[in-house]
Structure 1
Amino acid sequence: MNAFYDFIREQLQALAASGVLPQPFEYTFVINALLCAVLIGPLLGVLGSMVMIKRMAFFSQSVGNAAMTGVAIGVLVGESYTSPYLSMFGFCLLFALTLKYTQQRTQLANDTLIGVFLSISLAVGASLLLFVSAKINTHVMESVLFGSILAVDHTDMNVLLAVMLACALIGLPLYNSMLLASLNPSLAHARGISIRTVEYLFVVLVTLVTVACLKIIGAVLVEALLLIPASAARNVTRSLPAMVALAVLIATFSCVVGILLPMQFHIPVPTGGAIVLVAALVFLATTVIRATSPRFRGASA
Protein backbone atom coordinates (compact mmCIF):
# COMPACT_ATOMS: atom_id res chain seq x y z
CA MET A 1 0.00 0.00 0.00
CA ASN A 2 2.86 2.40 0.71
CA ALA A 3 3.93 2.22 -2.94
CA PHE A 4 0.37 3.08 -3.97
CA TYR A 5 0.34 6.09 -1.62
CA ASP A 6 3.69 7.23 -3.03
CA PHE A 7 2.39 6.98 -6.59
CA ILE A 8 -0.66 9.13 -5.80
CA ARG A 9 1.47 11.70 -3.98
CA GLU A 10 3.89 11.97 -6.91
CA GLN A 11 1.05 12.55 -9.36
CA LEU A 12 -0.66 15.19 -7.22
CA GLN A 13 2.60 16.96 -6.43
CA ALA A 14 3.44 17.09 -10.14
CA LEU A 15 0.05 18.67 -10.85
CA ALA A 16 0.60 21.18 -8.05
CA ALA A 17 4.06 22.04 -9.36
CA SER A 18 2.57 22.75 -12.79
CA GLY A 19 -0.10 25.01 -11.31
CA VAL A 20 -3.06 22.73 -12.02
CA LEU A 21 -3.69 22.11 -8.31
CA PRO A 22 -3.40 24.56 -5.38
CA GLN A 23 -0.02 25.03 -3.73
CA PRO A 24 -0.82 22.95 -0.57
CA PHE A 25 -0.79 19.81 -2.75
CA GLU A 26 2.97 20.14 -2.94
CA TYR A 27 3.24 19.00 0.68
CA THR A 28 3.28 15.29 1.50
CA PHE A 29 1.42 15.65 4.79
CA VAL A 30 -1.44 17.53 3.10
CA ILE A 31 -1.90 14.75 0.55
CA ASN A 32 -1.81 12.17 3.35
CA ALA A 33 -4.56 14.04 5.17
CA LEU A 34 -6.66 14.35 2.00
CA LEU A 35 -6.36 10.63 1.33
CA CYS A 36 -7.60 10.04 4.87
CA ALA A 37 -10.45 12.49 4.28
CA VAL A 38 -11.59 10.53 1.22
CA LEU A 39 -11.70 7.41 3.39
CA ILE A 40 -13.43 8.82 6.45
CA GLY A 41 -16.03 10.94 4.62
CA PRO A 42 -18.17 7.98 3.50
CA LEU A 43 -17.71 6.23 6.85
CA LEU A 44 -18.82 9.25 8.86
CA GLY A 45 -21.73 10.00 6.53
CA VAL A 46 -23.21 6.49 6.63
CA LEU A 47 -22.59 5.81 10.31
CA GLY A 48 -23.61 9.33 11.30
CA SER A 49 -27.01 8.84 9.67
CA MET A 50 -27.51 5.67 11.66
CA VAL A 51 -26.28 7.32 14.87
CA MET A 52 -28.87 10.06 14.42
CA ILE A 53 -31.64 7.55 13.71
CA LYS A 54 -30.70 5.46 16.75
CA ARG A 55 -30.37 8.59 18.93
CA MET A 56 -26.84 7.73 20.05
CA ALA A 57 -25.52 11.28 19.79
CA PHE A 58 -23.37 11.19 22.91
CA PHE A 59 -22.16 7.63 22.50
CA SER A 60 -19.38 8.54 20.07
CA GLN A 61 -18.36 11.44 22.31
CA SER A 62 -17.90 9.10 25.27
CA VAL A 63 -15.84 6.74 23.10
CA GLY A 64 -13.71 9.65 21.88
CA ASN A 65 -12.97 10.67 25.45
CA ALA A 66 -12.20 7.06 26.33
CA ALA A 67 -9.52 7.19 23.61
CA MET A 68 -7.58 9.65 25.77
CA THR A 69 -7.37 6.97 28.43
CA GLY A 70 -6.26 4.51 25.75
CA VAL A 71 -3.44 6.84 24.71
CA ALA A 72 -2.26 7.18 28.30
CA ILE A 73 -2.36 3.41 28.83
CA GLY A 74 -0.39 2.90 25.62
CA VAL A 75 2.33 5.29 26.80
CA LEU A 76 2.50 3.57 30.20
CA VAL A 77 2.95 0.11 28.66
CA GLY A 78 5.59 1.33 26.21
CA GLU A 79 3.58 1.65 23.01
CA SER A 80 4.54 4.36 20.51
CA TYR A 81 2.99 7.64 21.66
CA THR A 82 2.45 8.77 18.06
CA SER A 83 0.15 5.85 17.20
CA PRO A 84 -0.90 3.79 20.25
CA TYR A 85 -3.64 2.04 18.28
CA LEU A 86 -3.54 -1.26 20.17
CA SER A 87 -4.29 0.42 23.48
CA MET A 88 -6.81 2.86 21.98
CA PHE A 89 -8.78 0.22 20.08
CA GLY A 90 -8.57 -2.24 22.95
CA PHE A 91 -9.68 0.14 25.66
CA CYS A 92 -12.35 1.88 23.57
CA LEU A 93 -13.90 -1.42 22.46
CA LEU A 94 -13.95 -2.62 26.07
CA PHE A 95 -15.45 0.70 27.16
CA ALA A 96 -18.12 0.74 24.43
CA LEU A 97 -19.16 -2.89 24.91
CA THR A 98 -19.34 -2.41 28.68
CA LEU A 99 -21.53 0.65 28.15
CA LYS A 100 -23.84 -1.27 25.81
CA TYR A 101 -23.99 -4.24 28.18
CA THR A 102 -24.92 -1.93 31.06
CA GLN A 103 -27.60 -0.22 28.94
CA GLN A 104 -29.38 -3.52 28.46
CA ARG A 105 -29.32 -4.34 32.16
CA THR A 106 -30.36 -1.14 33.87
CA GLN A 107 -33.50 0.95 34.17
CA LEU A 108 -31.62 4.21 33.62
CA ALA A 109 -32.36 6.28 30.52
CA ASN A 110 -29.76 5.95 27.76
CA ASP A 111 -28.70 9.61 27.91
CA THR A 112 -28.25 9.38 31.69
CA LEU A 113 -26.14 6.23 31.47
CA ILE A 114 -24.01 7.59 28.64
CA GLY A 115 -23.52 10.78 30.69
CA VAL A 116 -22.25 8.67 33.60
CA PHE A 117 -19.80 6.78 31.40
CA LEU A 118 -18.75 10.02 29.68
CA SER A 119 -17.92 11.58 33.04
CA ILE A 120 -15.96 8.52 34.09
CA SER A 121 -13.98 8.44 30.84
CA LEU A 122 -13.16 12.15 31.18
CA ALA A 123 -12.01 11.77 34.78
CA VAL A 124 -9.87 8.69 34.15
CA GLY A 125 -8.45 10.05 30.89
CA ALA A 126 -7.55 13.45 32.36
CA SER A 127 -5.93 11.88 35.42
CA LEU A 128 -3.82 9.44 33.41
CA LEU A 129 -2.83 12.07 30.86
CA LEU A 130 -1.57 14.36 33.61
CA PHE A 131 0.43 11.44 35.00
CA VAL A 132 2.13 10.65 31.69
CA SER A 133 2.35 14.21 30.32
CA ALA A 134 6.03 14.47 31.27
CA LYS A 135 6.84 11.49 29.03
CA ILE A 136 5.28 12.69 25.79
CA ASN A 137 5.29 15.70 23.50
CA THR A 138 2.38 18.04 24.25
CA HIS A 139 1.79 18.48 20.51
CA VAL A 140 1.01 14.78 20.28
CA MET A 141 -1.75 15.17 22.84
CA GLU A 142 -3.05 18.22 20.97
CA SER A 143 -3.32 16.14 17.79
CA VAL A 144 -5.29 13.47 19.66
CA LEU A 145 -7.68 16.01 21.15
CA PHE A 146 -8.21 18.31 18.15
CA GLY A 147 -6.68 16.56 15.15
CA SER A 148 -3.62 17.51 13.12
CA ILE A 149 -2.65 16.89 9.51
CA LEU A 150 0.99 16.99 10.61
CA ALA A 151 0.46 13.80 12.61
CA VAL A 152 -0.91 11.66 9.76
CA ASP A 153 1.45 8.98 8.42
CA HIS A 154 1.27 5.66 6.57
CA THR A 155 0.23 3.83 9.73
CA ASP A 156 -2.80 6.08 10.18
CA MET A 157 -3.75 5.68 6.54
CA ASN A 158 -3.46 1.89 6.70
CA VAL A 159 -5.54 1.81 9.88
CA LEU A 160 -8.25 3.92 8.22
CA LEU A 161 -8.25 1.66 5.17
CA ALA A 162 -8.52 -1.45 7.34
CA VAL A 163 -11.41 0.07 9.31
CA MET A 164 -13.18 1.10 6.12
CA LEU A 165 -12.91 -2.45 4.74
CA ALA A 166 -14.10 -3.93 8.05
CA CYS A 167 -17.10 -1.59 8.11
CA ALA A 168 -17.94 -2.47 4.50
CA LEU A 169 -17.67 -6.22 5.11
CA ILE A 170 -19.69 -6.13 8.34
CA GLY A 171 -21.95 -3.13 7.96
CA LEU A 172 -23.19 -3.34 4.38
CA PRO A 173 -24.70 -6.86 4.59
CA LEU A 174 -26.33 -5.99 7.93
CA TYR A 175 -27.33 -2.39 7.18
CA ASN A 176 -31.02 -3.14 6.61
CA SER A 177 -31.14 -5.34 9.70
CA MET A 178 -29.57 -2.61 11.84
CA LEU A 179 -31.99 -0.06 10.44
CA LEU A 180 -35.05 -2.24 11.01
CA ALA A 181 -33.91 -3.11 14.54
CA SER A 182 -33.73 0.64 15.26
CA LEU A 183 -37.04 1.67 13.67
CA ASN A 184 -39.21 -1.35 14.51
CA PRO A 185 -37.68 -3.85 16.97
CA SER A 186 -40.85 -5.96 17.07
CA LEU A 187 -40.89 -6.44 13.31
CA ALA A 188 -37.15 -7.13 13.30
CA HIS A 189 -37.63 -9.82 15.95
CA ALA A 190 -40.51 -11.33 13.99
CA ARG A 191 -38.25 -11.58 10.93
CA GLY A 192 -35.65 -13.51 12.88
CA ILE A 193 -33.15 -10.68 13.32
CA SER A 194 -31.06 -10.95 16.47
CA ILE A 195 -31.51 -7.40 17.76
CA ARG A 196 -28.88 -7.74 20.46
CA THR A 197 -26.29 -9.01 17.96
CA VAL A 198 -26.78 -6.20 15.45
CA GLU A 199 -26.77 -3.63 18.26
CA TYR A 200 -23.42 -4.87 19.53
CA LEU A 201 -22.00 -4.96 16.00
CA PHE A 202 -23.11 -1.38 15.41
CA VAL A 203 -21.43 -0.30 18.64
CA VAL A 204 -18.22 -1.98 17.47
CA LEU A 205 -18.38 -0.22 14.09
CA VAL A 206 -18.94 3.22 15.63
CA THR A 207 -16.05 2.62 18.04
CA LEU A 208 -13.67 1.54 15.27
CA VAL A 209 -14.49 4.57 13.13
CA THR A 210 -14.27 6.97 16.09
CA VAL A 211 -10.80 5.77 17.08
CA ALA A 212 -9.54 5.62 13.48
CA CYS A 213 -10.60 9.25 12.88
CA LEU A 214 -8.87 10.74 15.91
CA LYS A 215 -5.71 11.84 14.08
CA ILE A 216 -7.75 13.86 11.56
CA ILE A 217 -10.67 15.18 13.61
CA GLY A 218 -9.62 14.75 17.24
CA ALA A 219 -11.30 13.14 20.23
CA VAL A 220 -13.15 16.33 21.19
CA LEU A 221 -14.78 16.89 17.79
CA VAL A 222 -15.31 13.45 16.27
CA GLU A 223 -18.90 13.33 17.53
CA ALA A 224 -19.67 16.58 15.73
CA LEU A 225 -18.66 15.22 12.34
CA LEU A 226 -20.77 12.13 12.91
CA LEU A 227 -23.87 14.21 13.61
CA ILE A 228 -23.64 17.49 11.68
CA PRO A 229 -23.49 16.09 8.10
CA ALA A 230 -26.39 13.72 8.81
CA SER A 231 -28.40 16.53 10.41
CA ALA A 232 -27.68 18.86 7.49
CA ALA A 233 -28.75 16.16 5.02
CA ARG A 234 -31.94 15.53 7.00
CA ASN A 235 -32.86 19.21 6.66
CA VAL A 236 -33.19 19.01 2.89
CA THR A 237 -34.13 15.39 2.13
CA ARG A 238 -37.30 13.37 2.53
CA SER A 239 -36.06 9.79 2.10
CA LEU A 240 -33.49 7.75 4.01
CA PRO A 241 -31.35 6.77 0.97
CA ALA A 242 -31.13 10.41 -0.11
CA MET A 243 -30.22 11.47 3.42
CA VAL A 244 -27.40 8.90 3.66
CA ALA A 245 -26.02 9.82 0.22
CA LEU A 246 -26.09 13.55 0.98
CA ALA A 247 -24.54 13.00 4.42
CA VAL A 248 -21.63 11.17 2.76
CA LEU A 249 -21.11 14.08 0.34
CA ILE A 250 -21.29 16.69 3.11
CA ALA A 251 -18.89 14.78 5.38
CA THR A 252 -16.37 14.28 2.57
CA PHE A 253 -16.67 17.91 1.43
CA SER A 254 -16.20 19.15 5.00
CA CYS A 255 -13.08 17.04 5.49
CA VAL A 256 -11.44 18.09 2.22
CA VAL A 257 -12.26 21.80 2.53
CA GLY A 258 -11.43 21.86 6.24
CA ILE A 259 -7.98 20.49 5.48
CA LEU A 260 -7.20 22.69 2.46
CA LEU A 261 -8.52 26.09 3.64
CA PRO A 262 -6.20 26.55 6.66
CA MET A 263 -3.21 25.52 4.53
CA GLN A 264 -4.14 27.71 1.54
CA PHE A 265 -4.81 30.83 3.60
CA HIS A 266 -2.41 30.11 6.50
CA ILE A 267 -5.15 30.03 9.13
CA PRO A 268 -3.72 28.78 12.47
CA VAL A 269 -6.57 26.48 13.51
CA PRO A 270 -6.57 22.74 14.27
CA THR A 271 -7.67 20.47 11.44
CA GLY A 272 -10.58 19.06 13.41
CA GLY A 273 -11.91 22.50 14.25
CA ALA A 274 -11.72 23.65 10.63
CA ILE A 275 -13.50 20.53 9.38
CA VAL A 276 -16.32 20.90 11.90
CA LEU A 277 -16.70 24.61 11.14
CA VAL A 278 -17.13 23.85 7.43
CA ALA A 279 -19.74 21.21 8.29
CA ALA A 280 -21.47 23.71 10.58
CA LEU A 281 -21.70 26.26 7.75
CA VAL A 282 -23.27 23.62 5.52
CA PHE A 283 -25.74 22.80 8.30
CA LEU A 284 -26.61 26.49 8.65
CA ALA A 285 -27.18 26.74 4.89
CA THR A 286 -29.49 23.70 4.86
CA THR A 287 -31.37 25.08 7.86
CA VAL A 288 -32.00 28.33 5.98
CA ILE A 289 -33.12 26.38 2.91
CA ARG A 290 -35.53 24.32 4.97
CA ALA A 291 -36.95 27.39 6.71
CA THR A 292 -37.48 29.38 3.52
CA SER A 293 -38.32 26.76 0.90
CA PRO A 294 -42.04 26.10 0.27
CA ARG A 295 -41.16 22.45 -0.30
CA PHE A 296 -40.21 21.94 3.35
CA ARG A 297 -42.53 24.46 4.99
CA GLY A 298 -44.76 22.68 7.45
CA ALA A 299 -42.88 19.36 7.12
CA SER A 300 -42.00 17.47 10.26
CA ALA A 301 -38.35 17.54 11.39
Structure 2
Amino acid sequence: MDSLRELVLSLQQAGYLPEMFQYAFLTNALVAACIIGPLLGALGPLVVVKRLAFFSEAVGHGALTGVALGILLGEPATQPLAALFAFCVIFALLLHWIKSRTQIPYDALVGVFLSFAIALGAALLLYVAKKVNVHILENVLFGSILTVRDTDLLVMLMLAVVCVVLMLYSSNRALISSLAPDLARVRGINVRLYDYVFVLLIALVTVASVKIIGAILVGALLLIPATAARLISRSGREFFWYSILFATVSCLLGILLPMAGALPIPSGAAIVLIASLSFLFALLVRRWRSLA
Protein backbone atom coordinates (compact mmCIF):
# COMPACT_ATOMS: atom_id res chain seq x y z
CA MET A 1 0.00 0.00 0.00
CA ASP A 2 2.86 2.36 0.79
CA SER A 3 4.30 1.95 -2.71
CA LEU A 4 0.93 2.80 -4.29
CA ARG A 5 0.61 5.89 -2.12
CA GLU A 6 4.14 6.94 -3.01
CA LEU A 7 3.26 6.61 -6.69
CA VAL A 8 0.21 8.86 -6.28
CA LEU A 9 2.26 11.35 -4.24
CA SER A 10 4.98 11.45 -6.91
CA LEU A 11 2.35 12.16 -9.57
CA GLN A 12 0.97 14.97 -7.41
CA GLN A 13 4.41 16.46 -6.89
CA ALA A 14 5.06 16.26 -10.63
CA GLY A 15 1.93 18.31 -11.25
CA TYR A 16 -0.20 15.54 -12.79
CA LEU A 17 -2.64 15.49 -9.84
CA PRO A 18 -4.20 18.31 -7.79
CA GLU A 19 -2.47 19.46 -4.61
CA MET A 20 -5.17 17.88 -2.43
CA PHE A 21 -3.72 14.42 -3.11
CA GLN A 22 -0.88 15.10 -0.71
CA TYR A 23 -3.27 13.90 2.01
CA ALA A 24 -3.26 10.18 2.75
CA PHE A 25 -7.05 9.68 2.90
CA LEU A 26 -7.47 11.22 -0.56
CA THR A 27 -4.66 9.07 -1.89
CA ASN A 28 -6.41 5.98 -0.49
CA ALA A 29 -9.59 7.05 -2.27
CA LEU A 30 -7.83 7.33 -5.62
CA VAL A 31 -6.03 4.00 -5.21
CA ALA A 32 -9.35 2.34 -4.31
CA ALA A 33 -10.97 3.72 -7.46
CA CYS A 34 -8.11 2.42 -9.61
CA ILE A 35 -8.56 -1.07 -8.15
CA ILE A 36 -12.31 -1.45 -7.86
CA GLY A 37 -13.23 0.24 -11.16
CA PRO A 38 -11.44 -2.22 -13.45
CA LEU A 39 -12.48 -5.11 -11.21
CA LEU A 40 -16.20 -4.34 -11.42
CA GLY A 41 -15.86 -3.52 -15.11
CA ALA A 42 -14.23 -6.88 -15.84
CA LEU A 43 -16.94 -8.86 -14.04
CA GLY A 44 -19.78 -6.78 -15.49
CA PRO A 45 -19.98 -8.46 -18.94
CA LEU A 46 -20.50 -11.90 -17.40
CA VAL A 47 -23.10 -10.45 -15.01
CA VAL A 48 -25.00 -9.12 -18.03
CA VAL A 49 -24.58 -12.30 -20.09
CA LYS A 50 -25.63 -14.57 -17.21
CA ARG A 51 -28.48 -12.19 -16.23
CA LEU A 52 -27.27 -11.85 -12.64
CA ALA A 53 -27.86 -8.11 -12.22
CA PHE A 54 -30.70 -8.65 -9.76
CA PHE A 55 -28.51 -11.16 -7.91
CA SER A 56 -25.77 -8.58 -7.29
CA GLU A 57 -28.40 -6.18 -5.95
CA ALA A 58 -29.56 -8.83 -3.49
CA VAL A 59 -26.00 -9.44 -2.26
CA GLY A 60 -25.44 -5.69 -1.89
CA HIS A 61 -28.53 -5.36 0.26
CA GLY A 62 -27.39 -8.40 2.23
CA ALA A 63 -24.40 -6.30 3.25
CA LEU A 64 -26.74 -4.25 5.45
CA THR A 65 -27.40 -7.32 7.57
CA GLY A 66 -23.72 -8.29 7.57
CA VAL A 67 -22.68 -4.88 8.89
CA ALA A 68 -25.34 -4.93 11.61
CA LEU A 69 -24.38 -8.46 12.67
CA GLY A 70 -20.72 -7.48 12.84
CA ILE A 71 -21.44 -4.54 15.13
CA LEU A 72 -23.69 -6.68 17.34
CA LEU A 73 -20.94 -9.31 17.60
CA GLY A 74 -18.46 -6.71 18.78
CA GLU A 75 -16.54 -5.84 15.60
CA PRO A 76 -15.52 -2.19 15.05
CA ALA A 77 -18.44 -0.22 13.64
CA THR A 78 -16.26 1.08 10.79
CA GLN A 79 -14.68 -2.31 9.93
CA PRO A 80 -17.10 -5.23 10.51
CA LEU A 81 -15.29 -7.21 7.84
CA ALA A 82 -15.59 -10.77 9.19
CA ALA A 83 -19.36 -10.74 9.64
CA LEU A 84 -19.87 -8.74 6.45
CA PHE A 85 -17.98 -11.14 4.21
CA ALA A 86 -19.22 -14.28 6.01
CA PHE A 87 -22.90 -13.35 5.81
CA CYS A 88 -22.81 -12.20 2.18
CA VAL A 89 -20.86 -15.24 0.99
CA ILE A 90 -23.26 -17.63 2.76
CA PHE A 91 -26.20 -15.58 1.45
CA ALA A 92 -24.96 -15.77 -2.16
CA LEU A 93 -24.01 -19.46 -2.11
CA LEU A 94 -27.27 -20.47 -0.43
CA LEU A 95 -29.28 -18.52 -3.00
CA HIS A 96 -27.46 -20.19 -5.89
CA TRP A 97 -27.70 -23.62 -4.25
CA ILE A 98 -31.50 -23.34 -3.87
CA LYS A 99 -31.77 -22.06 -7.46
CA SER A 100 -29.94 -25.12 -8.81
CA ARG A 101 -32.23 -27.54 -6.92
CA THR A 102 -35.68 -26.04 -7.44
CA GLN A 103 -37.89 -25.03 -10.33
CA ILE A 104 -38.60 -21.60 -8.87
CA PRO A 105 -38.00 -18.84 -11.47
CA TYR A 106 -34.66 -17.23 -10.70
CA ASP A 107 -35.99 -13.67 -10.56
CA ALA A 108 -38.68 -14.73 -8.08
CA LEU A 109 -36.16 -16.54 -5.90
CA VAL A 110 -33.79 -13.57 -5.89
CA GLY A 111 -36.74 -11.34 -5.03
CA VAL A 112 -37.49 -13.49 -1.98
CA PHE A 113 -33.87 -13.31 -0.80
CA LEU A 114 -33.68 -9.59 -1.53
CA SER A 115 -36.82 -8.90 0.50
CA PHE A 116 -35.47 -10.98 3.37
CA ALA A 117 -32.12 -9.17 3.30
CA ILE A 118 -33.74 -5.73 3.31
CA ALA A 119 -36.20 -6.61 6.10
CA LEU A 120 -33.60 -8.25 8.36
CA GLY A 121 -31.02 -5.54 7.64
CA ALA A 122 -33.51 -2.75 8.39
CA ALA A 123 -34.58 -4.38 11.65
CA LEU A 124 -31.01 -4.90 12.85
CA LEU A 125 -29.81 -1.48 11.71
CA LEU A 126 -32.59 0.25 13.65
CA TYR A 127 -31.38 -1.56 16.75
CA VAL A 128 -27.69 -0.92 16.03
CA ALA A 129 -28.33 2.78 15.31
CA LYS A 130 -28.97 3.29 19.02
CA LYS A 131 -25.42 2.17 19.78
CA VAL A 132 -23.30 3.77 17.05
CA ASN A 133 -23.01 7.05 15.17
CA VAL A 134 -25.79 7.16 12.58
CA HIS A 135 -23.36 8.59 9.98
CA ILE A 136 -21.57 5.23 9.95
CA LEU A 137 -24.79 3.63 8.75
CA GLU A 138 -25.21 6.32 6.10
CA ASN A 139 -21.75 5.42 4.79
CA VAL A 140 -22.82 1.79 4.50
CA LEU A 141 -25.96 2.73 2.57
CA PHE A 142 -24.53 5.31 0.17
CA GLY A 143 -20.75 4.88 0.34
CA SER A 144 -18.01 7.17 1.57
CA ILE A 145 -14.72 6.65 -0.14
CA LEU A 146 -12.99 9.06 2.26
CA THR A 147 -13.28 6.38 4.97
CA VAL A 148 -11.28 3.80 2.98
CA ARG A 149 -8.42 2.39 5.04
CA ASP A 150 -5.37 0.25 4.34
CA THR A 151 -7.31 -2.90 5.26
CA ASP A 152 -9.94 -2.10 2.64
CA LEU A 153 -7.30 -1.49 -0.01
CA LEU A 154 -5.56 -4.75 0.85
CA VAL A 155 -8.82 -6.69 0.51
CA MET A 156 -9.55 -5.04 -2.86
CA LEU A 157 -6.02 -5.73 -4.09
CA MET A 158 -6.20 -9.40 -3.06
CA LEU A 159 -9.54 -9.82 -4.85
CA ALA A 160 -8.13 -8.11 -7.94
CA VAL A 161 -5.17 -10.52 -7.98
CA VAL A 162 -7.49 -13.53 -7.61
CA CYS A 163 -9.70 -12.29 -10.46
CA VAL A 164 -6.72 -11.68 -12.75
CA VAL A 165 -5.33 -15.17 -12.07
CA LEU A 166 -8.72 -16.77 -12.74
CA MET A 167 -9.15 -14.77 -15.95
CA LEU A 168 -5.71 -15.76 -17.21
CA TYR A 169 -6.20 -19.47 -16.59
CA SER A 170 -9.92 -20.04 -17.14
CA SER A 171 -11.53 -17.08 -18.90
CA ASN A 172 -12.36 -19.05 -22.07
CA ARG A 173 -13.93 -21.94 -20.14
CA ALA A 174 -15.90 -19.50 -17.97
CA LEU A 175 -17.17 -17.70 -21.07
CA ILE A 176 -18.25 -20.94 -22.77
CA SER A 177 -19.97 -22.03 -19.55
CA SER A 178 -21.91 -18.76 -19.53
CA LEU A 179 -22.83 -18.55 -23.22
CA ALA A 180 -23.34 -22.23 -24.08
CA PRO A 181 -23.53 -24.46 -20.99
CA ASP A 182 -24.59 -27.52 -22.97
CA LEU A 183 -21.58 -27.20 -25.28
CA ALA A 184 -19.35 -26.69 -22.24
CA ARG A 185 -20.60 -29.94 -20.69
CA VAL A 186 -19.89 -31.80 -23.92
CA ARG A 187 -16.33 -30.48 -23.76
CA GLY A 188 -15.97 -31.79 -20.22
CA ILE A 189 -16.17 -28.39 -18.49
CA ASN A 190 -17.64 -28.44 -15.00
CA VAL A 191 -20.33 -25.78 -15.55
CA ARG A 192 -21.68 -25.99 -12.00
CA LEU A 193 -18.21 -25.34 -10.54
CA TYR A 194 -17.73 -22.25 -12.70
CA ASP A 195 -21.19 -21.01 -11.73
CA TYR A 196 -20.35 -21.27 -8.04
CA VAL A 197 -16.95 -19.65 -8.48
CA PHE A 198 -18.48 -16.74 -10.38
CA VAL A 199 -21.26 -16.29 -7.80
CA LEU A 200 -18.62 -16.29 -5.05
CA LEU A 201 -16.56 -13.67 -6.89
CA ILE A 202 -19.59 -11.43 -7.33
CA ALA A 203 -20.35 -11.70 -3.62
CA LEU A 204 -16.77 -10.91 -2.58
CA VAL A 205 -16.32 -8.00 -4.99
CA THR A 206 -19.73 -6.58 -4.11
CA VAL A 207 -18.91 -6.61 -0.41
CA ALA A 208 -15.46 -5.10 -1.00
CA SER A 209 -17.11 -2.26 -2.93
CA VAL A 210 -19.76 -1.42 -0.32
CA LYS A 211 -17.62 1.15 1.49
CA ILE A 212 -17.00 3.04 -1.76
CA ILE A 213 -20.33 2.80 -3.55
CA GLY A 214 -22.76 1.87 -0.79
CA ALA A 215 -24.91 -1.21 -0.29
CA ILE A 216 -27.90 0.28 -2.11
CA LEU A 217 -25.97 1.26 -5.25
CA VAL A 218 -23.14 -1.28 -5.55
CA GLY A 219 -25.01 -3.58 -7.94
CA ALA A 220 -25.44 -0.70 -10.37
CA LEU A 221 -21.72 -0.47 -11.11
CA LEU A 222 -21.63 -4.12 -12.10
CA LEU A 223 -24.55 -3.59 -14.45
CA ILE A 224 -24.51 -0.09 -15.99
CA PRO A 225 -20.96 0.06 -17.49
CA ALA A 226 -21.33 -3.44 -18.93
CA THR A 227 -24.75 -2.62 -20.39
CA ALA A 228 -23.35 0.57 -21.93
CA ALA A 229 -20.41 -1.37 -23.34
CA ARG A 230 -22.72 -3.94 -24.92
CA LEU A 231 -24.56 -1.19 -26.81
CA ILE A 232 -21.47 -0.05 -28.71
CA SER A 233 -19.35 -3.21 -28.86
CA ARG A 234 -18.82 -5.11 -32.08
CA SER A 235 -17.00 -8.07 -30.47
CA GLY A 236 -16.54 -9.81 -27.15
CA ARG A 237 -13.13 -8.18 -26.73
CA GLU A 238 -14.60 -4.70 -27.16
CA PHE A 239 -17.43 -5.60 -24.78
CA PHE A 240 -14.89 -6.50 -22.08
CA TRP A 241 -12.58 -3.48 -22.48
CA TYR A 242 -15.34 -0.89 -22.90
CA SER A 243 -16.94 -2.18 -19.70
CA ILE A 244 -13.66 -1.74 -17.83
CA LEU A 245 -13.19 1.73 -19.33
CA PHE A 246 -16.68 2.94 -18.38
CA ALA A 247 -16.48 1.51 -14.84
CA THR A 248 -13.00 2.94 -14.18
CA VAL A 249 -13.83 6.40 -15.51
CA SER A 250 -17.04 6.40 -13.46
CA CYS A 251 -15.12 5.55 -10.28
CA LEU A 252 -12.39 8.12 -10.88
CA LEU A 253 -14.75 10.98 -11.77
CA GLY A 254 -17.16 9.94 -9.02
CA ILE A 255 -14.36 10.48 -6.53
CA LEU A 256 -12.62 13.50 -8.02
CA LEU A 257 -15.73 15.62 -8.64
CA PRO A 258 -17.11 15.43 -5.07
CA MET A 259 -13.62 16.12 -3.72
CA ALA A 260 -13.35 19.22 -5.90
CA GLY A 261 -16.78 20.39 -4.74
CA ALA A 262 -18.37 20.04 -8.17
CA LEU A 263 -20.79 17.36 -6.91
CA PRO A 264 -21.63 17.76 -3.20
CA ILE A 265 -23.06 14.23 -2.92
CA PRO A 266 -21.80 10.86 -1.57
CA SER A 267 -19.19 9.10 -3.67
CA GLY A 268 -21.46 6.13 -4.38
CA ALA A 269 -24.21 8.32 -5.83
CA ALA A 270 -21.70 10.31 -7.90
CA ILE A 271 -20.13 7.14 -9.32
CA VAL A 272 -23.47 5.64 -10.35
CA LEU A 273 -24.73 8.92 -11.84
CA ILE A 274 -21.61 9.22 -14.00
CA ALA A 275 -21.96 5.57 -15.02
CA SER A 276 -25.53 6.39 -16.07
CA LEU A 277 -24.15 9.18 -18.25
CA SER A 278 -21.89 6.63 -19.92
CA PHE A 279 -25.01 4.58 -20.70
CA LEU A 280 -26.66 7.63 -22.31
CA PHE A 281 -23.45 8.26 -24.26
CA ALA A 282 -23.49 4.65 -25.52
CA LEU A 283 -27.11 5.03 -26.59
CA LEU A 284 -26.24 8.15 -28.61
CA VAL A 285 -23.27 6.41 -30.22
CA ARG A 286 -25.41 3.44 -31.17
CA ARG A 287 -28.07 5.76 -32.61
CA TRP A 288 -25.46 7.71 -34.58
CA ARG A 289 -24.03 4.48 -36.00
CA SER A 290 -27.48 3.33 -37.12
CA LEU A 291 -28.01 6.62 -38.97
CA ALA A 292 -24.55 6.76 -40.52
Q: Given the alignment of the two structures, is residue 111 of structure 1 paired with residue 107 of structure 2, yes or no? A: yes
1:70 and 2:66 matched: yes
SS at match of 1:11: helix
Deviations 1:15-71 (A, max 9, x none): 4xxx54224323322221110111111111111110000001111110011111111
1:246 and 2:242 equivalent?
yes
**Structure 1 unmatched ranges of 5 or more:** none
Q: Count residues with an aligned counterpart.
A: 292
The answer to whether the Cα contact below 8 Å between 2:263 and 2:270 also exists between their aligned partners in 1 is: no
Where does residue 60 of structure 1 map in the other structure? 56
Q: Kindly report which structure 2 residues correspond to 1:205-216, keeping only aligned pairs within 5 A, or say none.
A: 205-216=201-212
User: Matched residues in 2 for 1:114 and 1:6: separation?
Assistant: 40
Is the counterpart of residue 222 in structure 1 residue 218 in structure 2?
yes
Q: Cα offset for 1:137?
A: 1.5
State the shift of 1:169 in Å. Answer: 2.5
CA contact (8 A) 2:5 2:24 kept: no
Q: TM-score, normalised by structure 2?
A: 0.95
Letter of the structure 2 residue corresponding to residue 110 of structure 1: Y
Indicate the residue corresponding to 2:277 in structure 1.
Answer: 281
Q: Could you say which residue in structure 2 is the equivalent of 1:145?
A: 141
After TM superposition, give the deviation of residue 294 of structure 1 in Å. Answer: 3.1
Give the equivalent residue in structure 2 for 1:170: 166
Alignment of 1:58-207 (within 5 A): 58-207=54-203
Offset of residue 266 of structure 1: 4.7
Q: Retained in 2: the 8 A contact 1:12–1:25?
A: no
Local SS of the residue matching 2:33: helix
The residue type equivalent to 2:138 in the other structure is E
Show the counterpart of 2:261: 265
Query: C-alpha offsets along residues 125-153 of structure 1, whole Å, 9 cap, x if unaligned?
Result: 11111111112221111111111122111
Is the 1:69–1:121 contact (alpha carbons within 8 Å) kept by the matching residues of 2? yes
How many Å apart are 1:168 and its aligned residue?
2.0
Question: Quick one: which amino acid aligns to residue 78 of structure 1?
Answer: G
TM-score under structure 1 normalisation? 0.93
2:18 corresponds in structure 1 to 22
CA contact (8 A) 2:140 2:215 kept: yes
Aligned twin of 2:251: 255
- 1:38 matched residue in structure 2: 34
For structure 2, the residue ranges without an aligned partner over 5 or more in a row are none
CA distance in 1: counterparts of 2:30 and 2:43, whole angstroms: 20
Seq. identity, % = 50
Q: What is the RMSD computed on CA atoms of the aligned residues?
A: 1.5
Check conservation: 1:71, 1:87, Cα contact below 8 A. Answer: yes
CA distance in structure 2 between the aligned counterparts of 1:152 and 1:13, rounded to whole angstroms: 20
